[in-house]
Amino acid sequence: MLGADVRRVERMAQRGVIPCQKVAGQFRFNRAEMTEWLQENLGTMNHRDLAEVDAGITEQRQAEEDELIVAPLLRFEAITTDLDARTKPSVIRALLELAQRTGCVLDEQELLGATMHREELCSTALEGGIAIPHSRRPLPYAISEPILVVARTTQPIVFGAPDGKLTQLFFLTVSLDDHHHVHLLARLCRMLHDERFVARLQGAESPEETMDLMKAREHEVLAE
């Protein structure tokens, strides 16, 4: 899942960087704990580490190295450049309204509750005016297909960013299984780890332009 070699994983385990237990002299890792750890730490990883996680999960999923996982989820009806919401709850509700337009939401209340609960535990806001709202776990009973909503609010809002700055770009993600869930988060963080790209998204004037920028950026990171 980390895309790292054994020695590096051992060093991380010894230092207590990643969750693990030592049993009979061997490190043991719980998949659920590692999934949780990755969700909480992807936003602070550097570009190299994000690329390694992306590659590691790609291998675990037995997917092609150049598989697009963001582009196939982009839909015009789930993208907006003028989301009129000014508080965290209203933003999340507005994002879920966009998600419903895809026709893939089976249980709106389950999705709303899970997304709100995740925000109560720890904000999904990152530095740079970005947030990636998501549930702690995949929601196979609340959706029929993975969903990605991309939105820019009409004005920046307080969303709990670690740098204390306001947030304006939002990427709501919902998946059907753990591997895809973490992979989508890792790929998005990797794509957004570029100030110039984020600035272009901030300046996008339409869903069409936003979609084109997102697709081009995913191809760009896969070519690195």
pLDDT in tens, 145-165: 999 999 999 999 999 999 899
Q: Are 214 and 190 in contact (CB under 8 A)?
A: no
Model confidence at 26, pLDDT cuts 50, 70, 90, reads: confident
Please state, in angstroms and rounded to a whole number, the distance separating the CA atoms of residues 152 and 84.
9
pLDDT value for 7: 87
pLDDT value for 104: 96
Please state, in angstroms and rounded to a whole number, the distance separating the CA atoms of residues 224 and 3.
16
Nearest to 72 by CA among 102, 27, 110, 112: 102
pLDDT in tens, 125-148: 999 999 999 998 889 999 999 999
pLDDT in tens, 168-196: 999 999 999 988 999 999 999 999 999 99
196: exposed, middle or buried (Cβ count in 10 Å: 0-12, 13-18, 19+) = exposed
Q: Is the pTM of this model over 0.75?
A: yes
Res 34 pLDDT > 90: no
Res 33 pLDDT > 90: no
Domains and CATH numbers, the chain: 6-60 (no CATH), 71-222 (3.40.930.10)
Measured over the CA atoms of residue 186, residue 189, residue 193 and residue 197, the dihedral's sign is: positive
